[in-house]
Structure 1
Amino acid sequence: MKLNLTTIFGWLKLYGTYHEDLCMSKRIALSLLAAAGVWLSVGTCSYATDMADDAKLSTPEPTTALEHNNRALELAKHGRWTEAIDEHEAAVAQDPNNKTFKANLSASLIRCADSLMGKKSYERAAELYKRALNVDADNLSAKSGLNEASKLASSAEKPL
């Protein structure tokens, strides 16, 4: 499969659709989003970040948990992971029992950590994987990411 901007944003759209109508398994949706996040994080598509900066979001001033969640999903679709995490955290703070909001927060933490892994920021990535596990202790992507980040961080610290 050839990766291009249209394919990546198509995958990101599918990820958002997963939470709306459960049209695909969570594992598939997160795998697709991980691939898109890694692809964007290595700088293959700087156009995407330029476009995201200019994008108008449909919820400029969210007040409810659902509005925060929806804004976070929009930000995530544009690869704006740090902002997405902040919005997901606001949604979870307002509705701490909502499993979908927690899954979305965990997914954004993982995508941001994946991006940091691509930039060789292993310690910071490990912190985000840990945060994802605090939100969703059974998240296999967070567990495997944490293991990999921890190994790479410890090997980077060892003197030659």
Structure 2
Amino acid sequence: MVLVDSSIWIEAARRQGDLMAKLALRALLDEYEAAWCSPVKLEVLGGARREERRALESFFSCIPYVACNESDWEAAKALGWRARDAGHTLPWNDYLISATAAARGWRLYGRDAHFATLSGLGGAFVYQPGYGGTFAPEDKD
């Protein structure tokens, strides 16, 4: 499973959005591998225009969703502390998103380069789409 960050959902929804983000998200959806979580819900749906809200909620109701629990918050706090100790100050929501994915053994797909930094500090592994945006299964090596 791949937890998809709001940066990808928003980019893919833009009329002139990045084609690779659109293709990669479509491939994840086609493979039933895309998931989302509480902070992504707030970031995407909280910023939606009034005329888009009902359609977006209907669309997202079909995609696996995980509500963040207390252990996710604790893991996010620890990840944030490790990042700060290493000299990184990042958006707090991204600590929670990365920790939530990591706790479930999921990869994380986002446009923000700092997710790779978090991966190196114990956060979720970053998902890299395959050629042309195709789905890239996890390497089991």
Would the TM-score normalized by the shorter structure come out above 0.5? no
Of Structure 1 and Structure 2, the greater strand share is in 2
Q: Give 1 or 2 for the bigger CA radius of gyration.
A: 1
Of Structure 1 and Structure 2, the greater helix share is in 1
